[in-house]
A and B are shown apart, each in its own frame.
Chain A
Amino acid sequence: MDFATILQVLDSTVRLATPLLLACLAGLFSERSGIIDIGLEGKMLAAAFLSAAIAATTGSVWWGLLAGIVGASLMSGIHGLASITFRGNQLISGVAINFLASGLTVLIAQDWFGQGGRTPSLMGGGRFESITLPLAETLRPVPVLGPIYAELISGHSILVYVAFLMVPATWWVLFRTRFGLRLRAVGEAPEAVDTAGVSVIGLRYAAIAICGLLCGLAGAYLATGLQAGFVREMTAGRGYIALAALIFAKWRPWYALYACLLFGLLQAVALRYQSIDLGGVVIPVQVMDALPYILTVVILAGFVGKAIPPRAGGEPYVKER
């Protein structure tokens, strides 16, 4: 395996990790506030569809991005209404959102475009173009560092950079600001927040709103950055993988980055090497494709250390006497 191949795999890792990372951070905000969110998948899917549909119709990816964010936020709003205001079961609400998105996207897409539940392929201004960072070509001849800069760091769409910058931003918000302190507190001990005179409901809706925004970015990136248009079920379980990454990362932003990169790497390897020959034993492509999901199952089954979730997660807050 030469250096160029490794770079290609890593480059593809970064692209594939981006939607996972955005969804994972979305889940982080939600779950740190005590709202368990298995609806990441559905929100991403809704955002992917809306962004592709609007981008295809208007020809502008920015309108598409906005529509994606609005779509995911609406889904988030439903989850919030059900689990915060009406104190419903958060798991059931999340599952409902996944079903809703899965069915509605295909139905509307078919009705709208008549192409078998997909949107037309996006072209030109309907997609996020890759950005060439300054001096990328000038530095390319520099050994090792040159190609890393030009191939790996430069040449991604804007949303990739946004996703990676969201990691330090999330860390800073969570651990250095008043909002972050309150957000973490409301996921651990909402009664402490309530008795301190801060609104539990307000904080949780704020978290849900951020979650919707980030899911919107994730979905829009899938349909307008990573691929060129929406196809049915295009999220392909990425919402659940992001959830697994979140648990793996123990609800911490930097660990979330590492976990998502790991999942991205597995996906990239599966894409690059359709089958691997290990000294006579050929690992079939299906096994490679399944790797990220197998790892997800392993993590969710709790094989990876002890992850302590936010203490008030999944519990609707009811004032006690």
Chain B
Amino acid sequence: MTDPAPAIELKGISKAFGPVQANKDISIRVMPGTIHGIIGENGAGKSTLMSILYGFYRADAGEVWINGNKTEIPDSQAAIKAGIGMVFQHFKLVQNFTVLENVILGAEEGGLLKPSLAKARGVLKHLAEEYELSVDPEQLIENLSVGHQQRVEILKALYRQADILILDEPTGVLTPAEADHLFRILDNLRKEGKTIILITHKLREIMEITDTVSVMRRGEMTATVKTAETSPEQLAELMVGRKVLLRVDKKPAAPGETVLDVDNLRHVDRHGVERLKGVSLQVRAGEILGIAGVAGNGQSELLEVLGGYAEGTGAVRLRGQEIALAGRGSDGQARRARSIAHVPEDRQTEGLIMSYTAWENTVFGYHHDPRYQSGPLMNNALIREEAAGKMERFDVRPPDPDLAARNFSGGNQQKIVLAREIDRDPDLLLVGQPTRGVDIGAIEFIHQEIVRLRDAGKAILLVSVELDEILSLSDRIAVMFDGRVMGERRPDETDQTELGLLMAGVTERPEGDAMSAIDRSLEAKETREAERHG
């Protein structure tokens, strides 16, 4: 028996955007019925490659072969016809349509909707049973959890009879339990002979589910290996081009006095929805408190209230001194005066002014400092000179203070924000999503800086949706769900599963199926929200 033809074979794909070579002579073979991982840093060219495969871009050179036949893919229609389905990182769903309407959109049977809807209802029922892909077909998308919305995307592809499924960073928005369920679905699909391409920057996922893995760096395919024959360390090295420390290297914490004391903090947003429902926590000197949780459960609001972006009620004390939570003296300026530094979650809208230069960005928020004044004017020469020093110390590349913030990569933008905040030697550092969209190499550096600050006896409140990051950096972990702290754990006494349950609002380990307990909890939360809106 001869080997079957590869489900997908790319031969010498190249694509340039102006002077930027996004893909350089890339070749892969993916065998049918396997899961192939593509891993690489941001901007390595993974998404460009997949966009070519899905007909969004045309390659400058190279060939695509599907099931042994050379195939032209000029547009998405052709990709669908060739049996390729794509699950994008940002879902392409119509929010106020039902699941069924979304599934049939573009794949209707005829001019009228009724027969198409009836057919889809039947197919969905069948798919739900076969692959653990159950969703209520009559439900509106906007009422579904993110995990269920993702299932709809997979159903859309399967309804179009896709044999090849591409998933772009599918777990970025999921709780660990939802991610586990997704992997079960993928495993079922593989057993049915479907071919899956999984694009991710998470090494753990690659190791867990893929059969083979390709590594991309700067538009080139640096290696393709069997997953069983590689290790996370080797993959990281292939991605970055040098040895990378995956574990954060830190000594046990030596916590001192309580720096931040938050007592029964509440916050109501401008839509009248209560986002913080009585949060209490403490952070001590020389300690990192990690806040874990699925995005949208109050962590952002916690940072905003503490950082002086939003008002709240309750009590917050810094070294025993009360801090104003509303009205005068509750703004960011007042917080900075109390030695609270803030690295906001969204560096592009809150942390930086993208069109301003790096040196200007290194002083925002601290520009009232008398040191930077020169009569009625600002002492720009001094600011610029100091900026160059900060950029050098924080390894910002390129180290050019005159470059606009938007011209730096995500990791280097983040380093500029960190340089500005950490350089003031704050007593308390609030830091949100420090490594979101940041390359592995820069992650290593940012983590080391945060740990260094801790070792210098500072208190750090870390918010991150990356559970790995929380587990490796934190000295204590508080899990937030629906505006409350569900519980505190020590990283060495807990695991992803327990944290994942807390993140879904389940406080006790369930006897039976963890997923159904999570579903129940999330449904209860959705009902509460619906009632509040109604």
Partner of B112 from A178, A184, A198 at Cβ < 8 Å: A178
- List, in ascending order, chain A residues with CB within 8 A of B47's CB: 321
* Residue A177 CB within 8 A of the other chain: yes
Check if B114 sits within 8 Å of A178, measured CB to CB.
Answer: no
Beyond known contacts A197-B75, A198-B77: 14 more, CB 8 A cutoff: A176-B112, A178-B112, A179-B111, A180-B113, A189-B92, A191-B92, A192-B102, A193-B106, A195-B86, A195-B88, A197-B106, A198-B106, A311-B96, A321-B51
Check if A189 sits within 8 Å of B95, measured CB to CB.
Answer: yes
Check if B97 sits within 8 Å of A188, measured CB to CB.
Answer: yes
Partner of B97 from A176, A178, A179, A185 at Cβ < 8 Å: A185
Check if A188 sits within 8 Å of B95, measured CB to CB.
Answer: yes
* Residue A135 CB within 8 A of the other chain: no
Partner of B105 from A175, A185, A319, A321 at Cβ < 8 Å: A185
- List, in ascending order, chain B residues with CB within 8 A of A111's CB: none
**Cβ contacts A to B, 22 pairs, < 8 Å:** A176-B114, A178-B110, A178-B112, A181-B105, A181-B108, A181-B113, A182-B105, A184-B97, A185-B94, A189-B95, A192-B92, A192-B94, A192-B102, A193-B106, A195-B54, A195-B76, A195-B86, A196-B105, A196-B106, A197-B76, A197-B80, A319-B56
* Residue A137 CB within 8 A of the other chain: no
- List, in ascending order, chain A residues with CB within 8 A of B299's CB: none
Check if A197 sits within 8 Å of B108, measured CB to CB.
Answer: no
Q: What's the nearest-Cβ distance from chain A to residue B84, in Å?
A: 11
Q: Number of B residues whose C-beta is below 8 Å from A?
A: 32
B48 nearest CB neighbor, chain A only: A321
* Residue B38 CB within 8 A of the other chain: no
Chain B residues within CB distance 8 Å of chain A: 47-48, 51, 54, 56, 75-77, 79-80, 86, 88, 92-97, 101-102, 104-108, 110-114, 116, 156
How far is B105's CA from A178's CA once the two chains are assembled, in angstroms? 8
Contact A192:B93 (CB < 8 A) given known A178-B108, A181-B108, A198-B106: yes
* Residue A129 CB within 8 A of the other chain: no
Partner of A181 from B88, B96, B101 at Cβ < 8 Å: B101
How far is B47's CA from A237's CA once the two chains are assembled, in angstroms? 49
How far is B97's CA from A182's CA once the two chains are assembled, in angstroms? 11
B56 nearest CB neighbor, chain A only: A319
- List, in ascending order, chain A residues with CB within 8 A of B75's CB: 197
- List, in ascending order, chain B residues with CB within 8 A of A197's CB: 75-77, 79-80, 106
Q: Mark A260-291, 1 if CB is under 8 A from B, else 0.
A: 00000000000000000000000000000000
Q: Which 9 A-B pairs have the closest CB atoms?
A: A196-B106, A197-B77, A192-B92, A178-B108, A197-B76, A195-B92, A189-B94, A198-B106, A188-B94
Contact A196:B113 (CB < 8 A) given known A188-B95, A189-B92, A321-B48: no
Check if B110 sits within 8 Å of A189, measured CB to CB.
Answer: no
How far is B177's CA from A131's CA once the two chains are assembled, in angstroms? 68
How far is B101's CA from A191's CA once the two chains are assembled, in angstroms? 15
How far is B47's CA from A198's CA once the two chains are assembled, in angstroms? 21
Check if A176 sits within 8 Å of B113, measured CB to CB.
Answer: yes
B117 nearest CB neighbor, chain A only: A181
- List, in ascending order, chain B residues with CB within 8 A of A195's CB: 54, 76, 86, 88, 92
Q: What's the nearest-Cβ distance from chain A to residue B48, in Å?
A: 7
Check if B105 sits within 8 Å of A192, measured CB to CB.
Answer: yes
How far is B93's CA from A196's CA once the two chains are assembled, in angstroms? 10
How far is B104's CA from A182's CA once the two chains are assembled, in angstroms? 10
Check if A311 sits within 8 Å of B95, measured CB to CB.
Answer: yes
- List, in ascending order, chain B residues with CB within 8 A of A189's CB: 92-95
Q: Mark A191-217, 1 if CB is under 8 A from B, else 0.
A: 111111110000000000000000000
Q: What's the nearest-Cβ distance from chain A to residue B149, in Å?
A: 12
- List, in ascending order, chain B residues with CB within 8 A of A181's CB: 101, 104-105, 108, 113
- List, in ascending order, chain B residues with CB within 8 A of A311's CB: 95-96
- List, in ascending order, chain A residues with CB within 8 A of B77's CB: 197-198
How far is B101's CA from A182's CA once the two chains are assembled, in angstroms? 10
How far is B80's CA from A181's CA once the two chains are assembled, in angstroms? 19
How far is B54's CA from A194's CA once the two chains are assembled, in angstroms? 11
Q: What's the nearest-Cβ distance from chain B to residue A193, in Å?
A: 7
Q: What's the nearest-Cβ distance from chain A to residue B38, in Å?
A: 16
A172 nearest CB neighbor, chain B only: B112
- List, in ascending order, chain A residues with CB within 8 A of B114's CB: 176
- List, in ascending order, chain B residues with CB within 8 A of A177's CB: 111-113
How far is B49's CA from A321's CA once the two chains are assembled, in angstroms? 11
How far is B106's CA from A189's CA once the two chains are assembled, in angstroms? 13
Contact A194:B76 (CB < 8 A) given known A176-B112, A178-B112: yes
A187 nearest CB neighbor, chain B only: B94
How far is B94's CA from A192's CA once the two chains are assembled, in angstroms? 7
Contact A178:B76 (CB < 8 A) given known A185-B97, A185-B105, A196-B105: no
- List, in ascending order, chain B residues with CB within 8 A of A179's CB: 111
- List, in ascending order, chain B residues with CB within 8 A of A184's CB: 94, 97
How far is B106's CA from A178's CA once the two chains are assembled, in angstroms? 8
- List, in ascending order, chain A residues with CB within 8 A of B111's CB: 177-179
- List, in ascending order, chain A residues with CB within 8 A of B79's CB: 197
How far is B107's CA from A189's CA once the two chains are assembled, in angstroms? 16
- List, in ascending order, chain B residues with CB within 8 A of A194's CB: 76, 92
Q: Mark A155-189, 1 if CB is under 8 A from B, else 0.
A: 00000000000000000000111111110110011
Check if A182 sits within 8 Å of B106, measured CB to CB.
Answer: yes
Contact A188:B105 (CB < 8 A) given known A177-B111, A195-B86, A321-B47: no
- List, in ascending order, chain A residues with CB within 8 A of B101's CB: 181, 185
- List, in ascending order, chain A residues with CB within 8 A of B86's CB: 195
A178 nearest CB neighbor, chain B only: B108
A180 nearest CB neighbor, chain B only: B113
- List, in ascending order, chain A residues with CB within 8 A of B102's CB: 192
- List, in ascending order, chain B residues with CB within 8 A of A321's CB: 47-48, 51, 56
- List, in ascending order, chain A residues with CB within 8 A of B93's CB: 189, 192
- List, in ascending order, chain A residues with CB within 8 A of B88's CB: 195
- List, in ascending order, chain B residues with CB within 8 A of A185's CB: 94, 97, 101, 105
A192 nearest CB neighbor, chain B only: B92
How far is B309's CA from A107's CA once the two chains are assembled, in angstroms? 57
How far is B92's CA from A189's CA once the two chains are assembled, in angstroms? 7
Q: What's the nearest-Cβ distance from chain A to residue B50, in Å?
A: 10
Q: What's the nearest-Cβ distance from chain A to residue B196, in Å?
A: 18
- List, in ascending order, chain A residues with CB within 8 A of B156's CB: 196
Identify the interface centre among B97, B106, B156: most chain A CB within 10 Å of its CB.
B106
B93 nearest CB neighbor, chain A only: A192
How far is B113's CA from A180's CA once the two chains are assembled, in angstroms? 9
Check if B94 sits within 8 Å of A178, measured CB to CB.
Answer: no
How far is B96's CA from A311's CA once the two chains are assembled, in angstroms? 10
Partner of B113 from A178, A193, A198 at Cβ < 8 Å: A178
How far is B116's CA from A176's CA once the two chains are assembled, in angstroms? 11
Identify the interface centre among A179, A189, A311: most chain B CB within 10 Å of its CB.
A189
- List, in ascending order, chain B residues with CB within 8 A of A175's CB: 113
- List, in ascending order, chain A residues with CB within 8 A of B106's CB: 182, 193, 196-198
Partner of B107 from A180, A192, A196, A319 at Cβ < 8 Å: A196
- List, in ascending order, chain A residues with CB within 8 A of B95's CB: 188-189, 311
- List, in ascending order, chain A residues with CB within 8 A of B104's CB: 181
B77 nearest CB neighbor, chain A only: A197
Check if A178 sits within 8 Å of B116, measured CB to CB.
Answer: yes
How far is B102's CA from A193's CA once the two chains are assembled, in angstroms? 10
B51 nearest CB neighbor, chain A only: A321
A196 nearest CB neighbor, chain B only: B106
How far is B94's CA from A147's CA once the two chains are assembled, in angstroms? 48
How far is B77's CA from A175's CA once the two chains are assembled, in angstroms? 24
How far is B327's CA from A102's CA once the two chains are assembled, in angstroms? 52
A175 nearest CB neighbor, chain B only: B113
- List, in ascending order, chain B residues with CB within 8 A of A188's CB: 94-97
Q: What's the nearest-Cβ distance from chain A to residue B280, in Å?
A: 36
Q: What's the nearest-Cβ distance from chain B to residue A247, in Å?
A: 17
